[in-house]
Amino acid sequence: MKNHLFFFSTDAHPSPFDINIALDSGFDTVIPYGAVKLEETEGLTHDIIFSRGPKGAKLSAIFVGGSDVDLASTIAEKAASSMTPPFVVPVFADPKGAYSTGAALVAKVKKAVGGFTGKRALIFGGTGPVGKVTAELIASEGGQAVIVTSRSREAARTVAETVAGRSGGQVEGESATTMEERLALMRTADIAISTVKAGVQVLSLAGLEALGKQIVVADVNAVPPAGIEGLAPHDDMKQIAPKVTGIGALAIGVVKYKVEAGLFRALLEHGTSAGYKECYELAKTLA
Ligand SMILES: NC(=O)c1ccc[n+]([C@@H]2O[C@H](COP(=O)([O-])OP(=O)(O)OC[C@H]3O[C@@H](n4cnc5c(N)ncnc54)[C@H](OP(=O)(O)O)[C@@H]3O)[C@@H](O)[C@H]2O)c1
What whole-number distance in Å separates Cα of residue 144 and Cα of residue 194?
A: 16
CATH number of 4-93: 3.40.50.10280
Q: Look over the chain and give the mean of its residue pLDDT values, rounded to a whole number.
A: 96
List, for residues 110-131, the tens digit of each pLDDT value.
Answer: 999 999 999 999 999 999 999 9
Q: Please name the residue whose Cα sits nearest to atom 43 of ligand 1.
A: 128
Contact 99/275 with Cβ under 8 angstroms? yes
Cα-to-centroid distance, 196 and ligand 1 (Å): 3
Question: At residue 83, what are phi and psi to the nearest 5 degrees?
Answer: -100, 150
Q: Where in the chain is the domain with CATH 3.40.50.720?
A: 98-252
Name the strands in the sheet holding 170-175, side by side, starting at the edge strand that comes first in the sequence: 170-175, 144-149, 120-124, 191-194, 215-219, 244-247, 236-241
What whole-number distance in Å separates Cα of residue 267 and Cα of residue 262?
A: 9
Q: What is the mean pLDDT of residues 24-45?
A: 98
Nearest-atom number in ligand 1 for the CA of 97 is 6
List, for residues 190-223, the tens digit of each pLDDT value.
Answer: 999 999 999 899 999 999 999 999 999 999 999 9
Cβ-based neighbour number of residue 201 at 10 Å: 16
Cα-to-centroid distance, 134 and ligand 1 (Å): 12
Q: Where in the chain is the domain with CATH 3.40.50.10280?
A: 4-93
Judged against a pLDDT cut of 90, whether residue 150 lies above it is answered with: yes
Against a cut of 0.95, is the pTM above it?
A: yes
What whole-number distance in Å separates Cα of residue 277 and Cα of residue 48?
A: 25
98-252: CATH class:
alpha beta
